[in-house]
Structure 1
């Protein structure tokens, strides 16, 4: 198994990020960068782990992070040009960047609101995103991306709604070297995040919203949305707005906007 080449990444991404570090193992790269943020770590600091022992997804679910099989990385951002309330749309930015990489390596991938990337004809989950705002001092947020690159080599629990897991390699990727994939991902994220930041976090002004809509498999689907308060919402996913929020045509009439929740695709539209 070849490890991720930190020096090669730093050279290839020079000028894009303040720091790019790779560690053999950690509990969670998001947790590490949240702590680093409070200690003054710079805007655009990147941490990648070969393995996470306590990887976390949405709603504190565990994220399987087997050693050497994927990319487990987090980026600390301090976008002073963006209001705290607009930070949630970074999941859209990160999702588009992951899809960019999938397309570059020949994998058919789509986006599932709010934070999943699905690949292959069976639309299995190959990546998850977790953006965590830090409400202390200046505006800062940690964006975590878990991307399955090589065959997982173990039974990975299905996600909400029974969503199975897959990897780029299992979907026929032309590139599976994790250093190369990391370089592609961080370059794509850098390009998209800069556009987002210059637009003050507005996805429409950044030219990202229409693109997200085109690639979002959730839109037009009958869905069940599990809300943070334990309630659920059933209807048809209608749109995503400039803040990255999902609008749902609710069963029985009316439309509701959802900022956070787990979406289950009930059946294809």
Structure 2
């Protein structure tokens, strides 16, 4: 399988990103860029790896990153938005992944807050990590399966893994897919940044709601403090938080958590 063409990537995206590097192998592109941000890396620095050996998702779960099968990338951002707005960037990234998949003929949906699904399986995961500073920065990690991964364990909630190729993508050239994904991300992140991290002001909230498979579902949300919440996923607010209606008509705002669709669509 062809390697990602760093020269073609840089040429296609030179007006959108400050720097784009492709490495053969690393532990975690997010960890590498967090360190780079601490050392003064420029806004919109991008790192892609052919293989990750210690890639992680939410709650330190590992994400399968076999060599040459997917896009394993991170983007360092200094968006200048309030710290409280940084979390909504995961939703913006989800929209970018969904659009890139649609561009190769794959119909995907979004599972709040950071998964992209198609055909009842997971094809991408997103991890946004704030980096302390004044103002704070963010490292946004995206893992997108382009080619079949082989035998991998299902994710939280029993979701199996899938890939663009298995979903009938019309183009599985990873350089082309990376250019499309980073272009879609650039366009949406700029709108989000100009709106101060407000999804409504950025014109992105309606789009997210339209493509979010979580809304209307009976869900169980595993919260960061170890407790769980069950109810109906009713809405997403302008900060990207999930609104869950529980028994008795009470509405809860969830800013972070792992969601299981009790009755998958």
| d(CA) in 1 for partners of 2:127, 2:264 | 26
CA distance in 2, matches of 1:11, 1:268: 41
- What is the 5 A alignment of 1:65-214? 65-80=65-80, 82-120=81-119, 123-153=120-150, 155-214=151-210
- What are the superposed Cα offsets for residues 86-134 of structure 1, whole Å, 9 maximum, x if unpaired? 00000010000000011100001000000000012xx200000000001
TM-score (normalizing by structure 1): 0.97
The CA deviation at 1:268 is 4.1
Q: Which runs of 5+ in 2 are unaligned?
A: none
How far off its partner does 1:60 sit?
A: 0.6
Distance 1:157 1:260 in 2: 24
Cross-structure match for 1:52: 52
2:228 paired with 1:221: no
1:190-247, Cα deviation, whole Å (9 max, x unpaired): 0000000000000000000000000000000000000011100000000000000000
Task: Name the SS for the 1:223 alignment partner.
Answer: strand
Shift of 1:49: 0.2
TM-score when normalising by structure 2? 0.99
Between the two proteins, the alignment pairs up a number of residues equal to 265
